[in-house]
Chain A
Amino acid sequence: QSVLTQPPSVSGAPGQRVTISCTGSSSNIGAGYDVHWYQQLPGTAPKLLIYGNTNRPSGVPDRFSGSKSGTSASLAISGLQAEDEADYYCQSYDSSLSAYFVFGTGTKVTVL
């Protein structure tokens, strides 16, 4: 069972803005550890989408943005496109588990 909780699914029409939350605790996000986000298209490996809470790797469209506050983080997708339909995972570090990499439960984004 993951220590980072995400909504199982979110959906939106093309062009809309959707947000995905990642809720942690004082031993991970709340302790100041960075949050990263991955996009997993159907049948493929995860791809780093956001690192260090707010940064996009080269090649990631600026429609994707990340934020962090308190014990939670969020990923926003603006101008939703059909190609954004995928699973999204947050990831951080948890000091109570001594686990260097903990992943969120994952969120399926559906483009209506």
Chain B
Amino acid sequence: QVQLQESGPGLVKPSETLSLTCTVSGYSISSGFYWGWIRQPPGKGLEWIGSIYHSGSTYYNPSLKSRVTISVDTSQNQFSLKLSSVTAADTAVYYCARVSVTATNFDYWGQGSLVTVSS
């Protein structure tokens, strides 16, 4: 069974960089599939942030592209998110997820990690 777990600071100061890591168990990232990050502001809907392949190939939401970096560490079976110059509008629950074999949806999700941007 594929499992994903987000980890990282729950509080980030405005203008700083948000960093989260997703650890995957039950499946080797090196074996394939794309992996992604999605966020959900409190009480609001879902927003896709970006995705990465085990080779390191990435694609990002154009609305966030200038501030987002997603990387992968196959030796640790992890992938990571960095979001720079954060503001209060970036306060959200951040989910990591696996992109399905059809590459069109997300079939496994982590439990989510709340990140609050505040001084």
Contact = CB atoms under 8 A, between A and B. Distances in A.
A99 B46 contact: no
A44 B48 contact: no
Interface residues of A, number: 26
Given A44-B111, A45-B112, A89 B46 contact: yes
A84 interface: no
Interface residues of B, number: 22
Interface stretch (B13-21, B25-33, B72-80, B101-109): B101-109
A34 B101 CA distance: 14
8 tightest A-B CB contacts, nearest first:
A101-B48, A36-B105, A103-B46, A45-B109, A106-B45, A48-B107, A45-B112, A51-B105
Interface of A: 2, 33-34, 36, 38, 44-48, 51-52, 57, 89, 91, 93, 97-106
Given A93-B104, A99-B48, A103-B45, A45 B95 contact: yes
Contacts of A36: 104-105
Nearest to A92: B104
Q: Residue among A34, A47, A100 with the most chain B CB within 10 A?
A: A100
A36 B61 CA distance: 18
A52 B104 CA distance: 8
Contacts of A101: 36, 38, 48, 51, 105-106
Given A34-B102, A36-B105, A103-B46, 14 more contacts: A2-B45, A33-B104, A34-B104, A46-B38, A46-B109, A47-B109, A48-B105, A52-B104, A91-B105, A98-B62, A100-B51, A101-B38, A101-B51, A101-B106
